[in-house]
Structure 1
């Protein structure tokens, strides 16, 4: 599949980029996509939630009232969960939310996500660019030229580019990553996927191992 290569002003350069059918034209596997996105979201959880239970509460251990004759339920500890300030019953404990997926399934999920974006015609190929100095307004100008100023976009670079990354960091609806950082979640979370020419080879190399 061939796609026109644009410059940062949104104009056709007259060149075509070849997108491999093995990456951008497969039969999507929705279950693989689901598993990969589920793993990504699970890994965003720190798992440090913790509530103190009865044995961990600091408080007196004396019996707070006599056993009989009060007309109310018996109570032996101020740390009981039924009292304010007492321990929590079955409270949350630290947990590891990481999940394991094999590499082939993750590659299949990313290929499926790229294929879905290709079918939606949401992939743009742009020639490599850089800025003299990190400036948000320069990156905003690129977004406007490409018609992406009001859309959630993901820019994929071949190699890390500090100028482009810093210029986009303040924008809530745009993200800049390298081809090695590409994930199924980030592909699907963006309305438009902007691939720089230098990223194409890296993407295909990573997904065809």
Structure 2
């Protein structure tokens, strides 16, 4: 895309700024993330969210994803809260399964400061629980728990159904993670790192 200082190009080919692009993206992102929130422990990645809003809006972006996603997540979070919704941006993880530094500004906009990466991930996990409850996601067996996104389902895309046998299969156990360090807990339920 050419154009000095242009943030994006609209579907009609005109150059637009960040505000104009985000005004198109935020409603698309809120709808997409409401779908994600309707399933227990589901998350999506920054890249998946970006691909969805870009393809649905028809907007081409000049800067790379890592240069605009943090600010967009902050503006998305502010828009959600202004509409009485939970901060749906907490459902968006980096490729490594954590919200990462891109979510720091969004937390600050909620007046939730994270002093360490562990604090950031704990706060994001708490906000995700708000999102699942708001979207009436079915409560998992054993109730809601703070959980690392790596244990949850990724992306709102439909999954291919598994081949079914004539007998019922036992449900897969849900991995439980320490709310302090996000390490999977052993069967004892006591974190080996924090105990």
TM-score band w.r.t. shorter chain: under 0.3
Q: Tell me the TM-score normalised to structure 2 length.
A: 0.26
Q: Tell me the TM-score normalised to structure 1 length.
A: 0.25
Question: Which protein is richer in strand relative to its size?
Answer: 1
Which is bigger in relative contact order (C-alpha 8 A, separation at least 6)?
1
Larger Rg: 1
Question: Which protein is richer in helix relative to its size?
Answer: 2
